[in-house]
Amino acid sequence: MKGKYINLFTDFGFKKIFGEEESKENLISFLNTLLPEHHHIEELSFSNNEQQGASILDRKAIFDLNCKSSSGEYFIVELQKAKQNFFKDRSVFYATFPLQQQAKSGDWDFRLAAVYMIGILDFVFDEDRNNREASKEVVHRVQLKNQHNQVFYDKLTFIYLTLPNFIKTEQELETLQDKWFYLFRHLHELEQVPERLQELVFKRLFELAQLAKFSQEERNAYESSLKYYRDLKNVIDTAHYEGKELGRKEGRIEGMQEGKIEGRKEGRIEGKKESALEIASNLLSLMDDKTIAVMTGLDIKIIEKLRHSR
């Protein structure tokens, strides 16, 4: 294992930094950069996320969080380190659990607490890859809206972080949110705590993330998680590459076919032009330039050049 610190995109690294009791301060600091001010977290507790239908791998990277704001309002955050395959389906599917779990027995008015579904992506949606504007967006907020683009239901919010789009350097980091995004992208590449990340929350994070301080059992678990992450990413990246290559190949074939058609078309045009020039040359001694131009369809200037070149 190379590197000094863990990779936050691995299931192990994600859980180590955000999913344990001793890392709650990291979680609150990070989430408060994404949530609206009235839902900034004052208190947080982990709930049981052994949801029906969740795979073992998903349960390692999805946290159900019971939160309370400074005003005392209760709300739920479901945080997930997103997997690329069927991500949107997964998000909607898992968002139903914190909604259904609020059901109460007996008489109940169906009033629900707000739910935030936050997905951390190390990939870009396929539909955004060739969209110049979308390629600049890191934070995507999605709510249910009607045909007039008005929010129909404001208690369910999806927040997706497309972290490959975050390209700021250490010197360009300004906000606390910038710093958290930078850590997701670069923690496993760093050798020391950067000057721009001297806040106490980050100093504690770097202590937690040091591979040298892991037990052998933790190192083994991390190595396994890192291998799984790399293998999965490699499979998906390879699929994208092969898809692009197939597209290029099909494009070249189609281009060649179109080229042949275009070539035949251009050939016919060129052939007609050469034939017209030959006819015009034969008529020079018999007719005036204007008449020859009308008969052959050639520009009169071409006829004049032909006559002067004789």
Q: Is residue 204 part of a domain?
A: yes
What are the tokens at 98? 């914190």
State the DSSP code for 293: H
What are the tokens at 286? 């018999």
> What is the model's pLDDT at position 101?
86
What are the tokens at 301? 């200037």
Question: Dihedral through CA 246, CA 247, CA 250, CA 251, nearest 10?
Answer: -150
Angle at 99 between CA 95 and CA 105, to 5 degrees: 155
Q: Is residue 190 part of a domain?
A: yes
The b-or-e profile of 132-171 (16+ CB within 10 A means b, else e) is eeeeeebebeeeeeeeeeeeeeebbbbbbbbbebbeeeee
Q: Is residue 77 part of a domain?
A: yes
9/232 Cα distance (integer angstroms): 12
Residue in 138, 104, 109, 143 with CA at minimum distance from that of residue 124:
138
CA-to-CA dists, residue 157 to 138, 280, 291, angstroms: 16, 76, 77
Angle at 180 between CA 238 and CA 57, to 5 degrees: 50
18/30 Cα distance (integer angstroms): 9
Q: What is residue 132's three-state secondary structure?
A: coil
> What is the model's pLDDT at position 49?
53
- Yes or no: say if 114 and 155 are a contact pair by the CB < 8 Å rule: yes
- Yes or no: say if 179 and 185 are a contact pair by the CB < 8 Å rule: no
Q: Is residue 309 part of a domain?
A: no
Question: What's at 117, amino acid-wise?
Answer: M
Q: What is residue 44's three-state secondary structure?
A: strand
Q: Is residue 261 part of a domain?
A: no
- Yes or no: say if 222 and 1 are a contact pair by the CB < 8 Å rule: yes
Look at the chain and report how many structural domains it folds into.
1
What are the tokens at 11? 């299931």
31/217 Cα distance (integer angstroms): 29
What are the tokens at 130? 């060739």
> What is the model's pLDDT at position 308?
82
pLDDT less than 50: residues of the chain: 50-52
Strand intervals (E) in the chain = 41-46, 62-69, 74-81, 115-121, 139-145, 151-162
> What is the model's pLDDT at position 126?
74
- Domain residue limits at 206: 11-213
Q: Is residue 272 part of a domain?
A: no
Question: What's at 161, amino acid-wise?
Answer: L
Q: Is residue 15 part of a domain?
A: yes
Cβ-in-10-Å burial (0-12, 13-18, 19+) of 31 comes to buried
What are the tokens at 44? 């947080």
> What is the model's pLDDT at position 296?
78
Does the CA dihedral 248-249-252-254 come out positive or negative?
A: negative
Q: Is residue 97 part of a domain?
A: yes
Q: For residue 81, how many C-alpha atoms fall within 13 Å in the half-sphere facing its CB? A: 21
- Yes or no: say if 284 and 307 are a contact pair by the CB < 8 Å rule: yes
User: What element of type H or E holds 295?
Assistant: helix 289-296
